[in-house]
């Protein structure tokens, strides 16, 4: 389909964002975040979408739709004499078998095809350590940035990841600063050679430097989460726009407008995840670089957006070696298995139950009675019917292995305290459990939220956890090494073995062995206030 025809096909859908208004300087920002290697469309559960459902118009996003949308909007704005840039809010890595197989190479190649202007480093860009990010940055035709870190001690990254970039668009210079959540040190694998700092410790000086160079339009491109974006907007002068990621936030009011400490109206945006949406923000600046007007929305990339044929061919070629494994049916489920982060990072969720029970079932004959899985390690839901290996890999994309070890009851409680310490911000460390019941009070201060803990005994009934007793625990190797704040696993875990089978294979075998699986939740996690 020619671009002119594409513009016509999308015209009705995009009428309200057709052209920039006449003003001092208007900039259109196209943005997306947290794609997580979902090159193919997803269904309403954020899981893989079949070719039949895609043909029936039931799917969303995917690289081919994203290319059509970005290409068409860019051409429309520029064709009307306007100014447009495309920004990426991090976390392109991880989330599908494409990343498992091709690592960052496919991500970089696609983003180059998309002609993005800048990208913030996301925490998952460190999942393969500094080498993975280094290889990606070498391939990228655009700056990959974060400012609140020091990489001078890491030879693979030193001088390769800039803190900011300056774009000249329509005769005006734009300063774009990248930010990455300092939690990356715990929730990914950057190693000891990459240092992280608070955003507040670096931003004022960088903003002043850019302003001193005559740049009066400052955009933060962040992967720190929506709430942190709002905090920075309200507390640090000189910010005009924040384009975010990390928390997969879909805004009801787009953009969110925050009063900055200098009186500027800071525009804060984010566009969910998995290319289900693309944000388009139109910002008008006055001569002094202050935000004069702004508007826009997050566009749904549903079946109304055609798929780009060149990108489809690119994905088809990459998918060839993967299809046999992805299409292998490993089981079935009588109903959808809910894995939405809003549930799995705050309470018992169906996917958490499935994965934790599968882990415990695999090692129950090894003296293990407790399973703890981080909710952030569960990346999708699964719809009803047949379960394919591709769907399992979409839920569990990290290639984690089972890790078994022993902990005292006191250390189990400490681990659970860590798990619920960030529940109000949707922290991925939230514990999904098996063989265990616990209650917690989210209104208490972090570190004192666990109210009660019970463990399943040999007789099949739950009894109070004994802080002085020793218990066998199964988790994944990321958590066992201290990931997601579970330092107690690394420091106090006894008789540890981190090289069990891959977690995705354990779950696939579990659903294969039990007949049709029926999703469920129970009272293993109780919220008390």
Name the domain boundary from 259, 292, 317: 317
* 429 and 401 belong to one structural domain: yes
**What number is the average pLDDT over the span 131-141?**
98
* 439 and 408 belong to one structural domain: yes
Q: Which of 156-165, 317-326, 382-391 has the lowest mean pLDDT?
A: 317-326
Query: Tens of pLDDT along 242-283?
Result: 999 999 999 999 999 999 999 999 999 999 999 999 999 999
Evaluate whether 439 touches 451 at the Cβ level (below 8 Å).
yes
Domain at 456, CATH number: 3.90.780.10
Neighbours of 457 (CB within 10 A): 11
Query: Tens of pLDDT along 293-308?
Result: 999 999 999 999 999 9
The whole domain housing 362 covers 329-527
Alpha-carbon gap, residue 354 to 304, rounded angstroms: 35
Alpha-carbon gap, residue 440 to 526, rounded angstroms: 6
Predicted TM-score of the model (pTM):
0.80
Q: Is the pLDDT of residue 18 over 80?
A: no
Name the domain boundary from 317, 351, 371: 317
* 394 and 290 belong to one structural domain: no
Give the position of tokens 């139950």: 353
CB burial of 81-120 (b: ≥16 within 10 Å; e: otherwise) equals: ebbbbbbbbbbbbbbbbbbbebbbebbbbbbebbebbbbb
Domain-located, residue 21: no
* 197 and 120 belong to one structural domain: yes
* 267 and 412 belong to one structural domain: no
DSSP, collapsed to helix, strand or coil, labels residue 25 as strand
- Report the Cα 427 to chain-centroid distance in Å: 11
- Into how many domains does the chain fold? 2
Q: Is the pLDDT of residue 388 over 90?
A: yes
Q: Looking at the chain, how many residues does it have?
A: 529
Domain-located, residue 15: no
Name the domain boundary from 285, 317, 349: 317
Give the position of tokens 């990356």: 184
* 432 and 290 belong to one structural domain: no
How big is the CA angle at 186 (ends 63 and 426), to the nearest 5 degrees? 65
Query: Tens of pLDDT along 465-521?
Result: 999 999 999 999 899 989 999 999 999 999 988 777 889 989 999 999 988 999 999
* 438 and 509 belong to one structural domain: yes
């Amino acid at each position: 389909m020619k671009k002119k025809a594409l513009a016509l096909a999308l015209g009705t859908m995009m009428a309200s964002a057709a052209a920039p208004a006449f003003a001092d300087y208007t900039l259109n920002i196209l943005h997306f975040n947290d794609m997580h290697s979902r090159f193919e469309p997803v269904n309403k559960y954020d899981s893989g979408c079949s070719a039949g459902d895609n043909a029936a118009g039931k799917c969303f996003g995917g690289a081919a739709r994203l290319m059509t949308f970005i290409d068409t909007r860019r051409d429309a704005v520029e064709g009307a004499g306007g100014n447009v840039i495309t920004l990426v809010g991090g976390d392109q890595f991880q989330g599908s078998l494409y990343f498992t197989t091709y690592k960052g190479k496919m991500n970089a190649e696609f983003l180059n095809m998309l002609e993005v202007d800048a990208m913030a480093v996301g925490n998952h860009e460190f999942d393969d350590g500094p080498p993975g990010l280094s290889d990606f940055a070498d391939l990228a035709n655009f700056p990959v940035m974060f400012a609140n870190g020091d990489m001078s001690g890491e030879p693979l990254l030193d001088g390769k990841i800039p803190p900011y970039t300056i774009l000249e668009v329509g005769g005006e210079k734009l300063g774009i600063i990248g930010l990455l959540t300092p939690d990356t040190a715990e929730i990914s694998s950057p190693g000891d050679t990459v240092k992280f700092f608070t955003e507040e410790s670096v931003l004022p000086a960088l903003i002043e430097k850019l302003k001193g160079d005559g740049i009066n339009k400052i955009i933060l491109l962040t992967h720190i989460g929506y709430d942190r974006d709002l905090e920075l907007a309200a507390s640090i002068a000189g910010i005009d726009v924040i384009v975010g990621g990390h928390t997969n936030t879909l805004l009801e009011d787009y953009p969110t407008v925050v009063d900055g400490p200098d009186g500027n109206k800071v525009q804060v945006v984010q566009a969910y995840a998995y290319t289900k949406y693309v944000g388009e923000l139109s910002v008008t600046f006055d001569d002094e670089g202050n935000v004069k007007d702004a508007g826009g929305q997050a566009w749904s990339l549903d079946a109304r957006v055609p798929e780009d044929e060149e990108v489809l061919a690119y994905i088809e070629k990459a998918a060839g070696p993967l299809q046999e494994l992805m299409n292998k049916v490993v089981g079935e489920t009588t109903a959808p298995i809910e894995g939405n982060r809003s549930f799995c990072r705050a309470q018992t969720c169906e996917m958490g139950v499935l994965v934790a029970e599968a882990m415990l079932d695999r090692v129950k004959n090894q003296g293990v009675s407790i399973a703890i899985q981080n909710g952030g390690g569960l990346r999708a839901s699964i719809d009803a019917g047949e379960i394919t290996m591709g769907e399992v890999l979409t839920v569990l994309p990290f290639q984690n292995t089972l890790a078994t070890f022993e902990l005292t009851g006191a250390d189990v409680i400490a681990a659970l305290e860590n798990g619920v310490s960030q529940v109000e911000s949707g922290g991925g460390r939230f514990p999904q459990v098996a063989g265990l019941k616990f209650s917690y009070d989210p209104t208490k201060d972090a570190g004192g939220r666990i109210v009660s803990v019970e463990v399943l005994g040999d007789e099949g009934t739950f009894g109070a956890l004994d802080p002085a007793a020793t218990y066998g625990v199964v988790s994944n190797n990321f958590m066992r090494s201290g990931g997601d704040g579970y330092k107690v696993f690394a420091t106090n875990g006894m008789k540890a073995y981190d090289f069990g089978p891959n977690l995705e294979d354990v779950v696939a075998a579990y659903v294969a062995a039990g007949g049709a699986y029926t999703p469920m939740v129970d009272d293993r996690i109780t919220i008390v206030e």
